[in-house]
Homo-oligomer: A and B are copies of this chain.
């Protein structure tokens, strides 16, 4: 058996960053920007007023002083003129500070009478000026690779970058295999169950920036499997679920081999999800996951998500782990790394009482996979333990 990290190393060798494409900024959220973006301008592009008030020269900002208002500056409408000693300009938030002025007296600190203002007896110290380039300067970079969040999008807009170079979305083809499966909405025979893992994996993979397609169910015969592999063409990653171990009913590996896949089988020292098949076929990476629904979803988080991130150009790294404190004591763990379905609330983690890997109801109730290393000793309540969020 190999470790999870060794298995991931094999899987990473099958993928590389995908080609790029251009997207408009309004569609760029959640995409992976591949090259640093450079600001096309300073922000603010001029020294700007931070408040509504009056722009004055510093030496005139004296309690009780009376000044003459010579004009007005609003956002988008600079004052065409210079504020001289003894003068002020009405100014609004975001407006360019007029020539000559270097501070703003807020309107609450001023009384006005015609074109005269008198500064109050008490005056705020703050100059209420946003210096040119205080947010960013022309040429300043937003680093890459980067999964773009809403706040990045706002910053890129302000930098006047209307189009972004992002990695093409990884195309994933999902194939469930097995004579026992029917699609949701079909009427199952007495020996049959409803396919669920392709639906769960599609939602999970789409959520991290892939575009997953659910292909028809492959039956346990060569013709059906070959037809499904044919439908998978064009995918960057082909995922089969079920039939990947070495039992009598596991045709997937044989059929994939006959279609040119150089494949490897891995027994990974993990629970759930021991058997794994991986290789490359027709220019795509291919991974065979165990058919057990919970195992398939756990392998999706542990193996497929890092492969997607690698294809997006985010590097070949373990999925980020979080930490929480155990809610109660735990017995020693077995020889395989165990991904236990668990609930995290307020920094406390509680494993679900039932860990059978067939239980989707337990998985849906969980919000974390608590990670127990191979051979983990007994743990006490309050100890810190790592988890993957679900």
A residues near B (Cβ < 8 Å) are 25-26, 28-30, 41, 43-46, 48, 50, 52, 74-78, 92-96, 130, 134-136, 140, 142, 148-163, 178-181, 183-186, 188-197, 199-204, 206-207, 214, 220, 247-249, 291-293, 297, 323, 346-347, 356, 358-364, 366, 390
Contacts and interface: CB of A to CB of B under 8 A. Distances in A.
B364 A191 contact: no
A360 B190 contact: no
Please give me the 5 A-B residue pairs with the lowest Cβ-Cβ distance, nearest first. Answer: A154-B200, A76-B180, A76-B179, A162-B185, A29-B203
Given A75-B179, A178-B75, A45 B293 contact: no
Contacts of A323: 346-347
Nearest to A192: B76
B162 A200 contact: no
Q: Which of A93, A183, A191 has the most CB of B within 10 A?
A: A191
B154 A297 contact: yes
B188 A160 contact: yes
A179 B77 contact: yes
B76 A178 contact: yes
Contacts of A220: 74, 76
A74 B150 CA distance: 50
A297 B194 CA distance: 43
A318 to B, nearest CB: 16
B160 A185 contact: yes
Given A134-B359, A135-B359, A150-B207, A94 B180 contact: yes
A51 B248 CA distance: 13
A28 B184 CA distance: 13
A191 to B, nearest CB: 5
Given A157-B196, A178-B76, A206 B29 contact: yes
14 contacts: A43-B360, A52-B247, A74-B220, A76-B180, A93-B292, A94-B178, A94-B193, A134-B359, A136-B360, A150-B207, A150-B297, A151-B363, A158-B196, A163-B185
Contacts of A29: 202-203, 206-207
A388 to B, nearest CB: 12
B197 A154 contact: yes
B25 A157 contact: no
Nearest to A194: B160
A336 to B, nearest CB: 15
B96 A155 contact: no
A161 B142 CA distance: 44
Nearest to A357: B50
A43 B52 CA distance: 66
Contacts of A366: 151
A45 B190 contact: yes
B361 A150 contact: no
A58 to B, nearest CB: 20
A101 to B, nearest CB: 15
